[in-house]
Structure 1
Amino acid sequence: MSISFAVITIGVLAVIFGLILGYASIRFHVEGDPLVDQIDEILPQTQCGQCGYPGCKPYAEAIANGDDINKCPPGGESTIKKLADLMGVEAKPLDAAHGEEDSKKVAFIREDECIGCTKCIQACPVDAILGAAKHMHTVITDECTGCDLCVDPCPVDCIDMVPLVQTTSTWNWDFSASPKGDIPIKMVS
């Protein structure tokens, strides 16, 4: 009898706490800022930190709070123009203090020199590097955003940033200029 009483008591407490948590999640729900979400969609999602923020979402929040829109080298001039249109401000040139806009680059690990220290894996914000401790590592080029964060931690300097070769699998249409979004207009580099 004491075991069944304990099970029933725990079940009743679970239901009570579940109801309290359900009510609290509805009552104290915080809506996100839709402007931050729109800005975050425009940013390139490289999570590289070149803007001075730890990722694209914190930079989007800073822009919504009045920070400059020209601190994103991976996004370049096209991102600055889209942000200027959204925010209703004048587009400024890319801030050189945060880097230069260049062609898309990806990390390349010279596998014969890799010692398997996993420091590049820990530094990669998008998990584009595969490998295990004391084994060679490699980069999934389709996942690499070219943020360059894996280069500095490498103790043997076996990571290079190489230009992404334009192929049929890496070439994309930019649908943003189309009125309906279904007619390709120009190539995104």
Structure 2
Amino acid sequence: MSETELPAWTDVASAADQLQLASTPAELHGALCGWLAAGGADQPGWIATVMADPDLPSPVPGDTLDRLRAASAKQLGDADFGFELLLPDADDVQVRAGGLFAWCRSFLGGFGLAVGDKALSEEGQEALADLANLAAARIEEVDPEQDEESLTEIEEYLRMAVLLLHADCALGPRSRQRLH
């Protein structure tokens, strides 16, 4: 496993269960990425901060949740745009879409904890509004083939939106030039 590779969904789920967190891997990753994208500190004790529960223990160095943090931080700073979302690896479009929408809701929570009074670019404001719309979305009827394609496009858009927000808040305006 490389230092930029996210841990497996099942490993993150197991680690979350051990800490008795009522969060899916998508929710944990979304909150962590929101925190980091908004300029929150890349710190070993991220769970207590991001989950707003000071009683939660810090991950053990090198364990699944520590690797999740380290890989997420590396991916966000990757000049080759290697950022990935941790979503359910399911064939069911509804399950994957539900995971994506939950990821967006948690991202907004983590982002809100760290953003403070940082100014967003116009594109950043649009990206944040799009994330909020996705966080509120629901799937009603499913057309597996069409929805699979749409979901892939949404995932790609989200990756770029998160990188844009990270550039706005954590890296500064100079870095935004790379995204255009």
TM-score tier, shorter chain, comes to under 0.3
- The normalised TM-score by structure 1 is 0.24
Higher alpha-carbon Rg? 1
Higher helix share: 2
Q: Which has the higher contact order (CA 8 A, sep 6+)?
A: 2
